[in-house]
Amino acid sequence: MQTILRAFPQLFLLNKKPEVRARKKIQKARWDEENEEHRIKYSKEYNAKPENKKHRSEYNKVYNKENKEMRLEQRRRWASTAGKEKHFMENYGITTDQRNSLISEQDNKCARCYLPFDLDGSGNTSNAPVVDHDHS
């Protein structure tokens, strides 16, 4: 149990009263906000270590297996028009209509490397249109 608590400290709060959990959650959110740069730097360093990558990968496999239905629903939401619309607006500040018009203006080719996009639906994602040029 000690190892689990060390890996997942939020489990410690499960035995606490609701008001204590709420207070701890607020404290953590405040700390995260005040120390965002440190938190991001630490996360990148932590996630770059091979042993942590392996642990995270194992955890994700178990989590996805146990939450299969929820993960499928998330994928369905992302695949929907509303999910894509939200993604492009949050990450790039454009709508899907603006994205599609950019692709048309570029004659269905990448504006940077001039490779034609795979728009025939064959499933070849190696040259799918992307906003930030990373064709992977």
Number of domains the chain is built from: 2
Model pLDDT for residues 21-40, shown as the tens digit of each residue = 788 888 888 988 898 899 88
pLDDT for residue 41: 92
Residue that finishes a domain, picked among 66, 100, 124: 66
Residue 104 in any domain: the answer is: no
Residue 36 in any domain: the answer is: yes
Residue 81 in any domain: the answer is: no
Domain, as residue range, for 25? 18-66
- The pTM is what? 0.42
Residue 52 in any domain: the answer is: yes
Residue 53 in any domain: the answer is: yes
The CA distance from 55 to 118, in Å, is: 36
- DSSP readout, 23-83? HHHHHHHHHHHHTHHHHHHHHHHHHHSHHHHHHHHHHHHHHHHHTHHHHHHHHHHHHSHHH
Residue 24 in any domain: the answer is: yes
Model pLDDT for residues 70-118, shown as the tens digit of each residue = 999 988 887 787 888 888 888 888 888 888 898 888 888 888 888 887 7
Residue 125 in any domain: the answer is: yes
Residue 96 in any domain: the answer is: no
